[in-house]
A and B are shown apart, each in its own frame.
Chain A
Amino acid sequence: MATVTFDRATRIFPKSDMPAVNALDLEVQDGEFLVLVGPSGCGKTTSLRMLAGLEHVDEGEIRIDGRNVVNLAPRDRDIAMVFQNYALYPHMSVAQNMGFALRMAKVSKSEIAERVQDVAKMLDLVEYLDRKPRELSGGQRQRVAMGRAIVRQPRVYLMDEPLSNLDAKLRVATRAQISALQRRLGVTTIYVTHDQVEAMTMGDRVAIMRKGELLQVAPPEDLYDNPINIFVGGFIGSPAMNMLEATIERDSVGLVARVGDARLPLPEETLARHPGLASYESRTLVLGIRPENLEDAALANDGPRFYGRVELREALGSEVIVHFNIAARHAVTEETLELADDALGDRALATDKGTSETTLVGRFGPRTRVREGDSVEVAIDTRTLHFFNPKDGLAIA
């Protein structure tokens, strides 16, 4: 049980001029499950390894329970880590793997056996205790890696993408298992992933990083509802937020956002939440619309509409993901390009096609009748729009 504090912690790799982790400030509460998320190369794993003592800290401090651990060897930090590839000792049995740390700590043999047995029960590993890692399935290996960390009863758990080597179904099950286990054990946990679904479902709070910088740290819902900038808005949520170029104009009823030839009147509620919008009158900004705020007009109430043509329909049973084209322009900033790059294949975010057409993704109700190639009328829920400054990418408050 411990708090973990990153205090302007910085890591610059040799022969690199850009810090892999730049002055990271982050506080993790006692017993908290914090998820570090971001695209590859954002510095999340490096941050974790800095905390573990596997990576040098060039500047700043990292404190566990208030004590600066920067100069402590990994073994003196009282942490346990689950590696992406599990890093099980191939020449040791499951029991020996799990008991290794206790053996290093000179715990008595009988106590080691007892504690290994307890944790093995917890993780359904009892019957495999005598096996070697190579005789186990991927999921079992993953559990052994977890078990090895749990047996230790350390102050902090570090997990480096522990689910990325599992198949999709097992990943979902294990995700829930880890969350439940962490809540039960109540040990401070820092969990690194590039999967925003894991981040959203597991973390008490989620810290999102990009290019070595911490962008935002907040509970998942907060992160989802109030992204601090374009990157966070686009990274969190699946399918990703639609980012459009919009101009704020004033007409007889008040402020409207003009997107292509569509005009979206901005309701009081929205303006109250984003008072800064007033100063954007007749200026261009980036408008973010979550897919769930777009609905087949046939299933929706009144409100502003987009008129477009259906490109792709993905029926998931409980909902239908519809990709449709409208006459509008995609917001193209450095961040949207990076997001598109990261999520390549998810949707063609950055491809402007040089035309004034852009593809939006909507999450329609299961009873929608739209078919590929159809014209479609889409209702927009304008109460939950997101607005970003196109220059610095920051959300407009």
Chain B
Amino acid sequence: MKLSRRFATRVVLLVILLVFTAFFFLPVIWLLLAPTKTDGQLVTQAPFAFGSLRTLAHTFHRIISYDNYSLLVWLKNSAIYSFGGTALAILAAIPAGYGLALTHFIGRRTLLVITLIVMIMPATALVLPLFLEMDKIGLYGTIWSLILPFGFFPFGVYLAYIYFSSTIPSDLLAAARIDGAGEWRVFRYIALPLARPIVALVGFFALVASWNNFFLPFVMTYDSSQYPVQIGLNELIGSTASFNPANFSAGSGVTVLHRPDLAMAVILAIAPVLIVFLFAQRALVAGMLAGATKE
């Protein structure tokens, strides 16, 4: 009796988990399968049917070469903006977190609180003032208008703060100070080498945040050649026949895109972050576990 009830509970739990898994995972599978089909097959075939590799190659070729290889330009732009922003974010967040965690100065707590407030503020709220600011200092339309705003990555500052305050004993820094290191060298030779996991973690989050950002580049760029891939995708939706039938009256001369092309573009837009994640995985896990155990 007892045993069968436990069994029933497990079955119910399993079903719930399966439903949730399906709910979130099926769209991803659909997306991955879409480029293997033609637009027609996409609506006529079963949702999770596999089209053909030939079609996949066609789709890939069509989306890559679309509009004089725009997608590649956008991906390149995204890479420049994101890696630039990430580099800046790391450069600022790691020392900032260190300073907030391990040094004493007037206004330390206030700064920490402000960082937390900005962290929970939606990033889009700052886009308009940032636009006005960039315009005033003449950086609007340059790559700096997309890199500089990511230099302050409050979540990264917070992560670094937590890491430094929980994993680095203050005696270690005291020892270095006594050993003749000034404040900069204490950071450079002691804190920074020990902070490798958190540098990876902050960098990854900064990269994702910058890569996936839409509204800021949407406001800051005005020419297709400047677009990062997120804005490019938006542009592609506009060129997709099934979404905007009115744009494509016969003989307009514009290359028409279809939904499988769009799916392919999305996959290509995700791929770089995924690749970085796979390579950085070990460091990232270390960063997330850091502080849980002490040596």
Q: What is A's interface to B at a CB cutoff of 8 Å?
A: 49, 52-54, 73-75, 77, 79-81, 83-85, 87-91, 100-101, 104-105, 134, 148, 152
Contacts and interface: CB of A to CB of B under 8 A. Distances in A.
A73 to B, nearest CB: 7
Contacts of A84: 171
Contact of B295 (A54, A90, A101): A90
A333 B185 CA distance: 51
A87 B171 contact: yes
A80 B194 CA distance: 23
A75 B189 CA distance: 15
Contacts of A79: 178
A310 to B, nearest CB: 47
B175 interface: yes
Nearest to A76: B180
A75 B172 contact: no
Interface in B179-215: 179-182, 185, 189-190, 193-194
30 contacts: A52-B174, A53-B178, A73-B177, A74-B174, A74-B178, A75-B177, A75-B179, A77-B178, A80-B178, A80-B179, A81-B174, A83-B171, A84-B171, A85-B171, A87-B169, A87-B171, A87-B172, A87-B175, A88-B175, A89-B172, A90-B172, A90-B295, A100-B181, A101-B178, A101-B179, A101-B180, A104-B180, A105-B180, A148-B179, A152-B179
Contacts of A105: 180
A106 to B, nearest CB: 9
A90 B177 contact: no
A88 to B, nearest CB: 8
Nearest to B182: A75
A53 B175 contact: no
A49 B193 CA distance: 26
B176 interface: yes
Nearest to B185: A104
A94 to B, nearest CB: 14
Contacts of A85: 169, 171
Among A53, A77, A91, A148, find the residue whose CB has the most chain B CB atoms closer than 10 A: A91
Q: Tell me the interface secondary structure of chain B in the complex.
A: helix
A190 B57 CA distance: 77
A90 B173 CA distance: 12
Nearest to A80: B178
Nearest to B179: A101
Contacts of A81: 174-175, 178
Contacts of B193: 91
Report, nearest first, the 9 A-B pairs whose CB atoms are least far apart.
A104-B180, A101-B179, A87-B175, A87-B171, A74-B177, A75-B180, A91-B193, A74-B178, A81-B178
A137 to B, nearest CB: 14
Among B169, B172, B179, B193, find the residue whose CB has the most chain A CB atoms closer than 10 A: B179
B194 A90 contact: yes
B275 to A, nearest CB: 28
A87 to B, nearest CB: 4
Contact of B174 (A77, A87, A90, A100): A87
Contacts of A53: 177-178
A50 to B, nearest CB: 13
A85 to B, nearest CB: 6
A104 B179 contact: yes
A52 B177 CA distance: 10
Among A49, A53, A85, A104, find the residue whose CB has the most chain B CB atoms closer than 10 A: A104
Nearest to A145: B175
A54 B174 contact: yes
A148 B172 CA distance: 13
